[in-house]
Amino acid sequence: MKGFKLFILALTFIGVVFTQNALADRDANAEERAKVVEALTAAGCPNVGEVEVEGNYFEADDVICDDGKKYEIYLDQDMKIIKKKLDD
């Protein structure tokens, strides 16, 4: 019985590790990027640099908005802006 519990614990640990890797940062694919650019253009930020997927949200870097300033903008899965900060 102890061996079985240890086996289950090991499987759980492996599952957590693989889940964390699945949520790792990556570049957005073409479809995801197009959705982000569309949402940001509608929000007055038509110039979008790099777009990454970070966990369950999108990060757009080097975004230039209509005010002429450069931002780092985060969007949720529904393409709603959840954070907008000036890019250094």
Q: Looking at per-residue confidence, does 71 or 17 come out higher?
A: 71
Q: Domains in the chain, please, with CATH?
A: 26-86 (3.10.450)
Report the pLDDT averaged over residues 48-56. 97
Report the pLDDT averaged over residues 42-67. 97
pLDDT tens for each residue of 16-39: 445 444 556 999 999 999 999 999
pLDDT class of 88 with cuts at 50, 70, 90: confident
What CA dihedral angle connects 23, 24, 27 and 28, to 10 degrees?
10
Q: Looking at per-residue confidence, does 23 or 78 come out higher?
A: 78
Report the pLDDT averaged over residues 38-57. 97
Secondary structure (DSSP) of 15-75 = HHHHHHHHTS-EE--HHHHHHHHHHHHHTT--B---EEEETTEEEEEEEE-TTS-EEEEEE
